[in-house]
């Protein structure tokens, strides 16, 4: 049955997706035409600092998050000492010359921005209105440029400060794809401010559904309106265009979607991380390979905590019965690897999407858990219903593997890693109000308590954007399917 379902689904996906793209073509994001701004002189935007720093390679379980900027080493600094880190630097917005007509169009857009779940007061309408009264000149250029830049930033990347996006590690590349200076220049050259700003809206159908829900909600429904606005913003945290073919799992919904051209063609139940240190983080990664009949290397934390190495080494019969292979180094460190088989904790398949958190999608021998309504039982990784079907489809679509060969590989019972030649995005989201897999607007349980910080941020004044792009929460390695 798996083979028949996979074959039919792959045919549908290929029809919808069209010819295979190269990884570079798939990753390419469209950017607006730069246009030409009016010729009145104006200050040039300052260069944007780049992100610096890296994860600590010596931390076996918890890694420090990437630094958001580093100070230069001062003369005479002691070799081997840590380099001081600067706090995230504020974004420097461009200033361009504005005509009165364009400024008025911007003010109208600001006044109507509540339809996008944002507050007009955040974008300096009073200052802009006053500058318009005084006519063209430096004051208007400063006020209009600031209002436009702030609005473009929030429509492009979300209003919620990064520090209020708990365990948010999904880097949004829209800042590079749609630079503020390019957007502003195009809006002024085309004299169409509303169209340029509207072009930043997420293309995923879920966003449009939330926008309509906000329009339909009565003013008195304050809690519902606030939750709609928060979840509209969550879609802005991701790339505007998620891609032609992608996997998306909404953690509180316990579902994964295989989506082609924004159409869901297959869904899979999931088991996600337990609340606390094993909560599943929010990521935007790429499928690099499909592993048939995977092995699983038991983390050292489990080996040490449970004394697993010595226990299995001293009982070869038990190790064989449970499918473990044990080795010990000269310095007494045990390595325990679970071999492919029916008892393997990763089941028959693993979808590899390398990331510092060691999160991946995988099969499981504990199929009964998919019958539960609330499925937060894992140590962070995402157990996926019918993972073999999904993995075979990925191998056919992403590596050009013949369906019969994929079926043979899966039945062979031997480890086989199939590397993708077409890279598929994988998004791990946390949406508590949105479209379910059947297309109905539903509320999902806030299993990790992540709504409160986002809702509170909307009640507070807007914070200026900085170079920080991901959460400063610790990066916790969660390679534990148990």
Cα–Cα distances (Å) from 248 to 140, 306, 346, 429, 451, in that order, read 43, 35, 20, 7, 20
482 occurs within a structural domain: no
Q: What does the mean pLDDT of the chain come to?
A: 85
The domain that contains 276 carries what CATH number? 2.40.440.10
Domain match, 183 and 223 both: yes
Q: Residue 352: what pLDDT?
A: 95
* CA distances, 324 to each of 16, 313, 366 (Å): 43, 10, 18
Helices 222-236 & 138-157, crossing angle to 10 degrees?
Answer: 90
pLDDT at position 71, please? 33
Do 468 and 384 belong together in one domain? no
Q: Are 321 and 456 in the same domain? A: no
Stretch 252-268: mean pLDDT, rounded? 96
- Specify if 95 maps to a domain: yes
Give the residue from 247, 292, 241 showing the smallest Cα distance to 13.
247
Looking up tokens 């809690």, which residue turns up?
223
With a pLDDT cut of 90, the percent of the chain lying above it is 70
For residue 282, tell me if it sits in a domain: yes
Instruction: Compute the distance between CA of residue 231 and CA of residue 108 in angstroms, rounded to an integer.
Output: 25
Q: What does DSSP say about strands 245-250 and 416-429: parallel, antiparallel, or unpaired?
A: parallel
Instruction: Please tell me whether residues 125 and 194 are part of one structural domain.
Output: yes
| Segment among 4-13, 47-56, 313-322, 357-366 with least mean pLDDT | 47-56
314 and 421 in a single domain? The answer is no
pTM score, whole prediction: 0.82
Q: Is pLDDT above 50 for 464?
A: yes
Which tens digit of pLDDT belongs to each residue from 158-214? Answer: 999 999 999 999 999 999 999 999 999 999 999 999 999 999 999 999 999 999 999
Instruction: Give the confidence band of 120 by pLDDT, cuts at 50, 70, 90.
Output: very high
For residues 162 and 43, the model is more confident at 162
State the average pLDDT over residues 100-107.
98
Interval 251-263 mean pLDDT: 96
Is the residue at 51 inside a domain?
Answer: no
* Bridge partner residues of 70 (DSSP): 85
Two tokens, residue 70: 């580093």
- Count structural domains, the chain: 3
Assess whether 175 and 91 both reside in one domain: yes
Q: State the pLDDT at residue 88.
A: 87
Residue 65 has pLDDT above 50, yes or no: no
Q: How does pLDDT run across 377-429, given as a tens digit for each residue?
A: 998 999 999 999 999 999 999 999 999 999 999 999 999 999 999 989 999 99
**Residue 137 in this model has a pLDDT that exceeds 90:** yes
Q: What is the pLDDT of residue 459?
A: 97
User: How much is the average pLDDT of 226-244?
Assistant: 97
Sole residue written with tokens 């073999």: 388
3-state secondary structure the chain: CHHHHHHHHHHHHHHHHCCCCCHHHHHCCCCCCCCCCCCCCCCCCCCCCCCCCCCCCCCCCEECCCCCCECCCCCCCCCCCCCCECCCCECCCCCCCCCHHHHHHHHHHHHCHHHHCCCHHHHCHHHHHHHHHHCCCHHHHHHHHHHHHHHHHHHHHCCCCHHHCCCECCCCCHHHHCCHHHHHHHHHHHCCHHHHHHCCCCCCHHHHHHHHHHHHCCCCCHHHHHHHHHHHHHHHCCCCCCCCEEEEEEHHHCEEEEEECCEEEEEEEEEEECCCCCCCCEEEEEEEEEEECCCEECCHHHHHHHCHHHHHHCCHHHHHHCCEEEEECCCCCEEEEECCCCCCCCCCEEEECCCCCCCCEECCCCHHHHHCCCCEEECCCEEECCHHHHHHHHHHHHHCCCHHHHHHHHHHCCCEEEEEEEEEEEEEECCCEEECCCCCEEECCCCCCCHHHHHHHHHCCCCCCECCCCCCCCEECCCCCC
Determine the Cα–Cα distance for residues 313 and 317; give it in Å rounded to an integer. 9
- Has residue 42 got a pLDDT over 80? no
Question: Which residues have C-beta within 8 Å of that of residue 26, sequence separation ≥ 6?
Answer: 243, 244, 422, 423
β-strand pairing of 349-352 with 382-384: unpaired
107 vs 83, which has greater pLDDT? 107
Picking from 320, 335, 350, the residue at the C-terminal end of a domain is: 335
Q: Is residue 81 part of a domain?
A: no
Q: Has residue 221 got a pLDDT over 50?
A: yes
38 lies in a domain? Answer: no
Q: Is residue 394 part of a domain?
A: yes
Render pLDDT for 80-96 as a digit per residue (tens, 0 to 9).
Answer: 445 556 788 999 999 99
pLDDT tens digits, one per residue of 268-293? 999 999 999 899 999 999 999 999 99
Q: What is the CB-side half-sphere exposure of residue 87 using CA atoms within 13 A?
A: 4
Residues 195 and 248 in one domain: no
Structural domain including 279 reads 2-28+242-295+340-429
Where is the domain boundary, 335, 356, 391?
Answer: 335
Same domain, 250 and 378: yes
Question: Model confidence at 122, in pLDDT bands (50, 70, 90)?
Answer: very high
Q: Is 79 part of a structural domain of the chain? A: no
Residues 158 and 255 in one domain: no
Over 90: is that where the pLDDT of 34 sits? Answer: no
Residue 418: partners with Cβ closer than 8 Å, 6 or more residues away:
289, 290, 291, 292, 395, 399, 401, 406, 409
- Asked if pLDDT for residue 114 goes beyond 90, the answer is yes
- Cα distance between residue 447 and residue 254, in whole Å: 11
Both structure tokens of 258: 């295989």
- For residues 226 and 269, membership in a common domain is answered with no
* pLDDT given at position 55: 33
Last residue of a domain, one of 335, 357, 392: 335
Q: Is the dihedral of CA 350, 448, 243, 441 positive or negative?
A: positive
Which pLDDT value is given to residue 33? 37
Share of the chain above pLDDT 70, in %: 82
Q: Are residues 250 and 360 in the same domain?
A: yes
Q: Which of 77-86, 307-316, 454-463 has the lowest average pLDDT?
A: 77-86
What are the tokens at 196? 């340029």
> Would you state the structure tokens that stand for residue 371, as one six-digit string?
């019958």
* pLDDT (0 to 100) of residue 165: 96
d(CA 369, CA 383): 10
Q: Which of 80-84, 108-112, 140-144, 316-320 has the lowest mean pLDDT?
A: 80-84
Which range, of 61-70, 104-113, 182-191, 385-394, averages the lowest pLDDT?
A: 61-70
User: 274 and 316, same structural domain?
Assistant: no
Question: Does the pLDDT of residue 223 top 80, yes or no?
Answer: yes
Average pLDDT of the residues in 451-477: 93
Question: Is pLDDT at 260 greater than 60 in this prediction?
Answer: yes
């Amino acid at each position: 049955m798996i083979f028949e379902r996979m074959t039919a689904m792959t045919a549908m996906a290929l029809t919808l997706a069209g010819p295979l793209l190269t990884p570079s073509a798939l990753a390419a994001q469209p950017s607006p035409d730069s246009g030409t701004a009016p010729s009145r002189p104006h200050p040039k935007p300052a260069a944007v600092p780049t992100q610096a720093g890296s994860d600590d390679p010596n931390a076996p379980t918890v890694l420090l998050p990437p630094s958001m900027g580093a100070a230069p080493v001062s003369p005479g600094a002691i070799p081997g000492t840590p380099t001081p880190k600067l706090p995230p630097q504020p974004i420097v917005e461009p200033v361009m010359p504005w005509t009165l007509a364009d400024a008025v169009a911007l003010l109208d857009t600001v006044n109507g921005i509540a339809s996008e779940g944002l507050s007009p007061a955040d974008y300096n309408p009073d200052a802009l209105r006053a500058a318009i009264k005084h006519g063209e000149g430096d004051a208007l250029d400063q006020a209009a440029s600031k209002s436009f830049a702030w609005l473009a930033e929030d429509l492009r990347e979300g209003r919620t400060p990064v520090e209020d996006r708990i365990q948010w590690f999904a880097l949004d590349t829209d800042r590079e794809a749609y630079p503020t200076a390019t957007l502003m220049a195009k809006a002024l050259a085309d004299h169409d401010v509303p169209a340029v700003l509207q072009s930043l809206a997420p293309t995923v159908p879920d966003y449009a559904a939330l926008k309509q829900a906000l329009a339909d909600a009565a003013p008195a429904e304050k809690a519902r309106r606030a939750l709609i606005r928060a979840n509209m913003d969550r879609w802005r945290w991701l790339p505007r265009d998620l891609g032609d073919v992608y996997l998306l799992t909404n953690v509180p919904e316990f579902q994964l979607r295989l989506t082609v051209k924004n159409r869901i063609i297959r869904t899979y139940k999931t088991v996600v991380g337990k609340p606390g240190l094993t909560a599943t983080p929010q990521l935007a990664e790429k499928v690099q390979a499909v592993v048939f009949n995977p092995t699983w290397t038991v983390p050292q934390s489990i080996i040490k905590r449970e004394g697993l190495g010595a226990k299995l080494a001293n009982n070869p019969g038990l190790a064989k019965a449970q499918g473990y292979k044990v080795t010990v180094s000269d310095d007494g460190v045990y390595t325990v690897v679970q071999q492919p088989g029916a008892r393997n904790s990763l089941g028959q398949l693993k979808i590899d999407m390398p990331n510092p958190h060691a999160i991946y999608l995988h099969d499981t021998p504990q199929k009964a858990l998919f019958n539960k309504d609330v499925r937060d039982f894992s140590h962070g990784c995402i157990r996926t219903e019918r993972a073999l079907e999904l993995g075979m489809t990925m191998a056919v679509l992403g590596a050009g593997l013949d369906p019969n060969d994929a079926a043979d590989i899966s039945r062979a019972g031997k480890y086989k890693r199939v590397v993708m030649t077409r890279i598929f995005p994988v998004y791990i989201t946390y949406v508590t109000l949105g479209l379910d897999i059947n297309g109905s607007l539903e509320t999902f349980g806030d299993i990790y308590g992540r709504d409160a910080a986002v809702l509170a941020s909307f009640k507070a004044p807007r914070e200026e954007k900085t170079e920080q792009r991901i959460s400063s929460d610790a990066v916790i390695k969660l390679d534990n399917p148990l």
